[in-house]
Structure 1
């Protein structure tokens, strides 16, 4: 049996902290929870900053900041229905009802504020948690559009 000497204890403690810290950092990147740069699938430019949170194992996303808009610096959801109609897009919840299903998250909805259309949504992690594939679709997942969001550091 090997014992740690008093001299090696600090080195062991530091190594253990580094190992645990890197495991925590990796675990934090294995879910969509976090802040993301929404990359437009048509232009390839970062369009907005989105924050995904988890509440009782249900993911939802809120627009923190709109970076590019055809309607000026603080756009509203002109084509939305219901309580989102003519409301500011910044601060708006655009995704809700999403639950983990193995390596994907689905079962929820996502709103495209530009068109006012609500789609079913499926999320999957890519590039060791640094990218998020967001698939919005109507009916079958094959018919829809995808964006890749980039985790904001």
Structure 2
């Protein structure tokens, strides 16, 4: 009986650490060119498929009413605040990696093939976008 209780308690204590090794949550992004914090993105899980929306615009020069004028799909001229920029990522079999989706850069309107990898015990998220042989990688920080 004592062993069963101890196992349940230990599992309960370990759960928060395991739960953090996922992209789900709120992340602070950084502008590649300036190094300035640019936004907060909330990543959600819907039946194993991830999506992410811009929740806050944090750049000094950000206009809260900006629209995605360079987007080429149904997001064209939609407000950047609340814009879905991550779509369709799924967890890779047996790995702490989410792939197969797309990420939109609202600054240039381009969609990139996506790879998300939690690092630093889930405190940071490596976000890599690919177009053909070219890729761009950012490191986002989890918002506590």
Q: TM-score range by the shorter chain?
A: 0.7 to 0.9
Give the structure with higher Rg (CA): 1
Structure 2 unmatched ranges of 5 or more = none
Give the TM-score normalised by structure 2.
0.87
Structure 1 unmatched ranges of 5 or more = 5-12
Partner SS, residue 52 of structure 2: strand
User: Superposition pairs for residues 3-152 of structure 1, below 5 Å?
Assistant: 17=9, 19-68=10-59, 70=61, 72-101=63-92, 102-140=95-133, 143-152=134-143
Please identify runs of 4+ aligned residues in structure 1 that moved more than 6 A: none
Give the TM-score normalised by structure 1.
0.82
Question: Structure 1's 83 and 56: CA in aligned 2 closer, same or farther, altered over 3 A?
Answer: same
User: Displacement of 1:82 after TM fit?
Assistant: 2.5
Give the count of matched residue pairs: 140
User: Displacement of 1:92 after TM fit?
Assistant: 1.0
- Residues 118, 126 of structure 2: 8 Å contact kept: yes
